[in-house]
Structure 1
Amino acid sequence: MSELNWKTCSSTYIHKGPWATLRSDKCEMPDGRIVEQYYVLEYPNWVNAVAITQDNKVLMVRQYRHAANLVSLEIPGGVIDGDEAPEAAMRRELLEETGYRFDDIELVSTVYANPSTANNKTFCYLAKGGKKVQGQSLDEHEELVVEEYTIAEVKQLLADNKIAQALHCTGLFYALMKLGEL
């Protein structure tokens, strides 16, 4: 099998922002050909979780997603802040978005949203035994509604294509497999 990795010769930043950064890389392919401009979106890493309460309900959040002009039904999740550990970020996001604390949390997959154009990854967790300990503590531009579903209802939502966020479908797939539900 031939070597597949490209060599980055240089990088130029086009835009640097808090949520997305765009750079252009000049690359050399294994056979020596040069790619003059390969655009890469740099995003922070993300976390999400299939969060199951003590009474076996799956917590979902419904919120507006402006880029797609869509009210989206999702699992809780968000951005990892700086050098925050992924599991700590997930526990924080669960508490902020739902008001639930989870002692039992397990990484079930690590996936890339689109490795052809973006460099970040998403850590997907299964959180069990959630207890409501506080109200929501949302970010400035965050508005979301917490909803509870049975595992059977979540499986039906997936079957009916009612969960549009691909990374959240992926997290649900791995968590449902771990739970023996698929």
Structure 2
Amino acid sequence: MTDKEIKPWKLLGEEDVSPSPWFPILKHTVELANGSIVDDYYFSPLGDVVQVLAITKNNEVVLVEQYKHALSQVLLELPGGMQQKNKSIVESALNELEEETGIKATANRLIPMGKIANNPTKLRQITYGFVLFDAEFNSEQKLDITEDIRVLTLPAHEVLQKAINGEIWVTDSLNLIFKTALAYPEVFGLKLK
């Protein structure tokens, strides 16, 4: 090990080269810690994401199945979405949960599970995860025009197994499932030492 101090890059310039308001891209000119200049460092400031691992009174996890166009596949994941304009992270989490699943809850019932950065090299996007116990289907889905979502519930231990065996493979969902299983092993049928 060394005592080397890692220093941030110095921003010399920024240009918005976004092809669409739906997919922002920035071009930065930066000076590295070693003095080198990179004049074409591209990344996307997509915005933050919220996700909720909702568990029913019957110890079932609420999942959503939907088509994801970038991969051209139908994927199984936890409900969530982008932080909504003029809404806090918690408000966005509650709204996304209700919109995608028909589960309405209050802020005091959400348990924060931390944050996840999927690709901090090329994305400025943080996913904030929450757990909700005793989730109830007490509202209606309010889907966006691009959403076609099937809601399903599975026993928590089965969801963990699907994450382990690759049936659930979306990064945010995997991380939140695993973090929650470690924090609440009894919910997932685990016996940790």
TM-score over 0.5 for the pair: yes
**Quick one: percent identity of the two aligned structures?**
26
Match of 1:107 in 2: 112
1:130-161 deviation per Cα after TM superposition (whole angstroms, max 9, x unaligned):
12112211011100100000011111111220
Moved over 2 A (4+): 1-4, 16-19
1:144 aligns to 2:154 (yes or no) = no
Q: Which amino acid aligns with 1:85?
A: S
How many residues are matched? 182
Q: Which runs of 5+ in 2 are unaligned?
A: none
1:121 aligns to 2:135 (yes or no) = no
Q: Which amino acid aligns with 1:24?
A: K
When the two chains are superposed, the root-mean-square deviation of aligned CA atoms in Å is 1.3
SS of the counterpart of 1:67?
A: coil
Quote the offset at 1:67 in angstroms: 0.6
Match of 1:132 in 2: 137
Is contact 1:102-1:128 (8 Å) kept?
A: no
Match of 2:89 in 1: 86
Segment drifting more, 46-55 vs 65-74: 46-55
Structure with higher strand content: 1
SS of the counterpart of 1:68?
A: coil
Quote the offset at 1:16 in angstroms: 5.6
1:169 aligns to 2:174 (yes or no) = yes
Match of 1:53 in 2: 56
1:83-108 deviation per Cα after TM superposition (whole angstroms, max 9, x unaligned):
31111111111111111123421110
Q: Which runs of 5+ in 1 are unaligned?
A: none
